[in-house]
Amino acid sequence: MSSRCALVCLCLLASSTLLPAQSKPPTDYAITQAGGSPGATTTIYRRGSKALMVIFLPAQGATPASTTDNLIDIAAGTNLTWNPNDSNVGCSAGTFSGDWGDPFAAIADLSADIANGNLKPTGTETFDGISTTIYTGSAQGVNVKAWIDQKDSLLIRAESNAPNSPPTTFVDITKVSFAPPPASLFVLPAICAGVKPPPTPAQLIADETGDDASNYVSAFTGPGSQNSCNVVLRVVQAKTMAPLTHLQVAIDTQYDQNDPNPPHYTFGVGDDGTETFSGGHLRQITTGIHGGTVSLGTVPPYFNLVVNAVHPGHSGGPGLIYRQCFAPTTVLLFLYKDYGQQDESVDALWVKAGKNATPPAQ
């Protein structure tokens, strides 16, 4: 959350005195942190894999006070958000990955650079019954002071300031309890009944392929791998994995992301959906396409790819693909979702393992 991001941006560094090793942070707690404005607070209640984040903002002028509840399913990567005091606002759903706002995550930013010694222990102080060790020092010209509960590896308070300027507080935990919060806190209100979070990226991949999502990596996410491989492109319908055989494939392996004058591609589309390609170094592969499969050969770390499953009312556009090699010959799946429908869309996945990792015989 904001406290962790602030620490990252300021490049906080820990002292040479090691923090106590903690193999596993607690998963039952209630922690309250002061917000960015006077009277604002964020309280996180966690019970196992569920967390309730309650954000309170006090009244400001004509704006009344407000409370937002955010129920987080940590294991599933989903969350539901609502205003407990205003049923007219509705309930919204979302997904997330990575850090969800765990207050124990902030200490990782300190521990990662613990050997640098830019911050050194300078004393102790007790906050609301919590004994902390104070670390002070500077990082990149910014003075830093941090209070750490070494018993529980929790960053209680952190502030920084440029020389000759007042300090700004980025972390300010005011209350901590390690008793399991009551289960009733994690019961959804009636306003959220029937509200479903959108599918996570992993769920989308599993739905598209009918396989374990861990066997795939998005081809649209960089950077490209350092190792090279021969690439076999498979063009299929999502879910059924039925090959699409009436194809056009074009590739630009000389595309340069850093070119101040990027290429301008031109496409023409016939009534039957057949395309013409020109511009840049885009070249159409006219041979070797069999049963929805074509060898792209050895490709660079990234390249532009056009795949057109020819049918009336449809055309393909260029997509930037980042190379990922998991075998000497690695399969690139190009999936058509809702093939032939008005809302037709595509996805591109590198196959790491599983039933689609072996290129089909041509």
Q: Is pLDDT above 70 for 90? A: yes
Q: How far apart are the C-alpha atoms of 155 and 115, rounded to whole Å?
A: 18
pLDDT confidence band for 115 (50 / 70 / 90): low
Verify that 208 and 314 share a domain, yes or no.
yes
43 shares its domain with 180: yes
In-domain check, residue 325? yes
79 and 216, same structural domain?
no
Q: Which of 156, 174, 192 is the last residue of a domain?
A: 192
Q: What residues form DSSP beta bridges with 266?
A: 278
Residues 93 and 13 in one domain: yes
CATH of the domain at 187: 2.50.20
Which band of pLDDT confidence, cut at 50, 70 and 90, is reported for residue 76?
confident
Task: Identify whether 146 is part of a domain.
Answer: yes
Domain that holds residue 294: 201-351
3-state secondary structure of 31: strand
Does any domain span residue 361? no
**Do both 300 and 261 map to the same domain?**
yes
Q: What is the mean pLDDT of the chain?
A: 86
In Å, how far are 281, 312, 355, 359 from 240, measured between CA atoms? 34, 22, 13, 17
Collect all residues with Cβ–Cβ distance below 8 Å to 91 and sequence separation of at least 6: 80, 81, 82, 189, 191, 192, 195
Residue 228 burial (10 A CB sphere; 0-12, 13-18, 19+): middle
End residue of a domain, out of 169, 192, 215: 192
Highest mean pLDDT among 145-154, 215-224, 341-350: 215-224
Instruction: Quick: pLDDT tens for 203-246.
Output: 899 999 999 999 999 999 999 999 999 999 999 999 999 999 89
Position 57 in a domain: yes
Tell whether 29 and 62 lie within a shared domain: yes
Q: What domain count does the chain have? A: 2
Convert the pLDDT of each residue in 33-49 to its tens digit: 998 788 999 999 999 99
114 and 74 belong to one structural domain: yes
| Burial class for 313, CB neighbours closer than 10 Å (0-12, 13-18, 19+) | exposed
- Residue 210 shares a structural domain with residue 312: yes
Residue 17 pLDDT exceeds 60: no
How confident is the model at residue 137, as a pLDDT?
Answer: 83
Judge whether residue 16 has pLDDT over 50: no
